[in-house]
Chains A and B, each alone.
Chain A
Amino acid sequence: MVSEAEKIQKKTSCEHQAECMKMVQLIVDGQASDEQINQFKLNMDTCLPCEKGYELEKCIKETMQLRLEKKCVPSSLIDCIKQKISTL
């Protein structure tokens, strides 16, 4: 008989980590199918390295999207391009 505590105990090492991390990449990049996403969610419920791997990849991706400085193109560059285009 498996106790409730044992049932929710997540494994602390993943025997398929290389494959799982490839799946994590597809998921965070929005390139995985619904079936792949559902399958990985089930896996995350039982595997701590996969859960942590997913959280870290998602965090890094969000960090790249949100915290890298977005530079505005100089208006002088736009003017210069338009001026050159008008002479072509």
Chain B
Amino acid sequence: MDELEEIKIPQTYSDLEKHRVFDKEFMPHIDSMYNFAFRLTNDEDDANDLVQDTYLKAFRFINSFSQGTNAKAWLFRILKNSFINDFRKKSKEPAKVDYQDVETTYNSEEDAETNQTVDLRVESVQDLIGDEIANALNALPVDFRTVIILCDVEGFTYEEMAKILDIPIGTVRSRLHRARMLLKEKLQSYAKSLGYNVNADSMAD
């Protein structure tokens, strides 16, 4: 349970307290957890299994959780680790990975400040519907999808993301930057395929 190791002072809750902490601190985040699980797995049944597994682990190791600390980040960290360590291995549908994408993106993750531009108009993004946005997000390799979900959808700070993902803040920044470049490329492809004039965004606008 390395995901739970950072807690320094273990609590000892009574059975009654365990259930009270579970209901009060953990259950309010179950919708966010389910959405995160669904975005990771792209499958409702898999998301169910992942959330259930996470909540059972959280209860089992509840003494490692200090009341009043960031329960949402703690739960997200468990879910992310469960996904990587257990779930991904036994998933009935292995993650679809564009290996060229991964190779390109990982090789350049630490060099994310490279000046790249994607011609994409604000108007084109605004014209895309939810499904097209979701498809563009789902087309990203899972590590890049994850940082965008944590930051843009769930509103975690870089510091919280660093703890959830167990990576330095600098890597959070560069991974996010790279993820957004990739997302823009995917959105641009969608906008183009739908006939939007994506690169007509001249400086004369």
Contact = CB atoms under 8 A, between A and B. Distances in A.
Given A29-B158, A85-B19, A77 B52 contact: yes
Interface residues of B, number: 50
Contact of A17 (B115, B128, B129): B115
Query: Counting chain B CB atoms within 10 Å of each CB, which of A22, A60, A78, A84 scores highest?
Result: A60
A60 B126 CA distance: 8
Interface in B96-124: 113-115, 117, 120-122
A21 to B, nearest CB: 8
Interface string A76-88: 0110110011001
Interface in A58-76: 59-61, 63-65, 67-74
Contacts, number: 106
Dominant SS among interface residues on chain B: helix
A45 interface: no
Interface of B: 19, 22, 27, 30-31, 33-35, 38, 44, 48, 51-52, 55-56, 59-60, 113-115, 117, 120-122, 125-126, 128-131, 133-134, 137, 148, 151-153, 155, 157-158, 173, 176-177, 180, 183-184, 187, 201, 203, 205
Given A18-B114, A29-B158, A70-B35, 15 more contacts: A17-B117, A22-B113, A22-B177, A31-B158, A60-B152, A63-B133, A64-B137, A64-B148, A65-B153, A67-B129, A73-B31, A74-B48, A78-B27, A85-B19, A85-B59
